[in-house]
Homo-oligomer: A and B are copies of this chain.
């Protein structure tokens, strides 16, 4: 191995350590730590963030990347240079103190958000969000002063994504979803959901989570299920991928589909080539690709008629009398009912992208300075009225419902909708040669997992996000697969 490549790999290993600590801080804060311990965590996170920044951003690293670019021979070596150079170019323009201060800020903002949400008190969170929006806007300007700042942020989560591409994509989705939803509301055959209202024991819900993890093939030796206000997946490294869920006593399907969703993220991380451990190529390649896997396992597998047929006896075993007199078909329809509601993570597949559009438009307006943080709750409620025909009953179930902005993630949301579209196209392509429904009906996820591993998972960041999206989809991206899927599913379900 050339000297520059060896030095690069040593640097990657060091950077991994800081990423690991950061991921652990995140998991700990949300699922473990005492609620009032944030000051020390913020000080520690800020310091470690500054140390990581100093490690990456230095004339030495710049020179090393240049030398390694000249000496890289294998695809992997070139990819390592590409990924580190991309990160270097992005953060080297941000002043070191602002970079570290931002880390401390989100460490403080996240528990402040959790408290504000519990207390339904947007005003308590607003000063943090104000600072986060300002900081993100400044970061975008540092990174590329000539570009639209929101586009700069989008690119961090999904390389190459722009507002223009989002607008085109969402226009196509809207054109399919809005009339479909209207048709359902006007003339859809009603779906029975009364049996979902019951008292669902938490022990049985926890047992169900473990069953889903086992069906997904996620081993407890490497994956744990924590509990947090907002479900998420946290990959410390390939051998330690954690998911969280939130159990609701009155609705076991909330946690069920959360676990399926986060389990999809975990499968992706668990199947990256072990050769890439502790390097810049470990981890999923983009948030859109990541969400494609989570939403695939949540919706295309988990909410499919075939898989629900397979899962039904397990549900009846765990919940006993509460599901007596209900059929698998009725359950399938109930968990796929299209009903506008206030909460994104509990939305059905049809209304889901409308929740994303609300966030996309609002966060873009915040970054563009066209919307003030103090005006956000009213704007949120107005958008919900416009797109979904409902008004959240308070800010806790409105603008405060998601953790993303508190964590500094502005520009992330569009990747959820994009991911759904990637997944629909990938499955259309796979179905040309595989009878997925027959496999899922017998609980066999092996073939679909093998195919996804082959097309996407194993690569980590070895290939670019664009290349991987095309590999996953089996061709150039085309949102028509997604809109056709939604149209067919909901036309049949509501007998339109």
A residues near B (Cβ < 8 Å) are 13-14, 16-18, 20-21, 24-25, 27-28, 31-41, 43-48, 51, 219-224, 226, 236-240, 242, 277-278
Contact = CB atoms under 8 A, between A and B. Distances in A.
A222 B34 contact: yes
B40 A240 contact: yes
B239 A40 contact: yes
B43 A278 contact: yes
Contacts of A236: 37, 40-41
A437 to B, nearest CB: 33
Contacts of A40: 16, 20, 236-240, 277-278
A69 to B, nearest CB: 24
Q: Which 10 A-B pairs have the closest CB atoms?
A: A37-B240, A40-B237, A17-B47, A20-B44, A36-B221, A17-B44, A34-B224, A21-B21, A37-B239, A14-B47
A16 B44 contact: yes
Contacts of A27: 32
A32 B23 CA distance: 14
A213 to B, nearest CB: 11
Contacts of A237: 37, 39-40, 43-44
23 contacts: A13-B43, A14-B47, A14-B51, A16-B47, A17-B44, A17-B46, A17-B47, A17-B51, A20-B41, A20-B44, A21-B24, A27-B32, A28-B28, A32-B224, A34-B221, A34-B242, A36-B221, A36-B222, A37-B237, A39-B237, A41-B236, A43-B237, A44-B237
A221 to B, nearest CB: 4
Given A32-B32, A34-B220, A221-B34, A21 B41 contact: no
Contact of A39 (B33, B34, B239): B239
Nearest to A32: B32
Contacts of A18: 48
Contacts of A20: 40-41, 43-44
Contacts of A277: 39-40
A161 B31 CA distance: 40
B16 A240 contact: no
A473 to B, nearest CB: 31
A32 to B, nearest CB: 6
Nearest to A242: B34
A191 to B, nearest CB: 39
Nearest to A45: B17
B21 A240 contact: no
A52 to B, nearest CB: 10
Contacts of A238: 40
A279 to B, nearest CB: 11
A275 to B, nearest CB: 14
Contact of A224 (B13, B33, B39, B220): B33
A357 B165 CA distance: 72
Contact of A28 (B17, B24, B44, B220): B24
Nearest to A50: B14
A36 to B, nearest CB: 4
Contact of A21 (B35, B48, B222, B278): B48
Contacts of A39: 237, 239, 277
A324 to B, nearest CB: 28
B43 A240 contact: no
Contact of A43 (B17, B34, B41): B17
Contacts of A16: 40, 43-44, 47
A189 to B, nearest CB: 45
A35 B240 CA distance: 9
A13 B100 CA distance: 14
B14 A240 contact: no
A34 B27 CA distance: 13
Nearest to A52: B51
B221 A35 contact: yes
Interface centre among A224, A236, A240 (most CB of B within 10 A): A240
A13 B47 CA distance: 8
A58 B258 CA distance: 49
Kindly name the residue among A18, A32, A223 whose own CB sees the greatest number of chain B CB atoms within 10 A. Answer: A32
Contacts of A17: 43-48, 51
Q: Which of A37, A48, A237, A242 has the most CB of B within 10 A?
A: A37
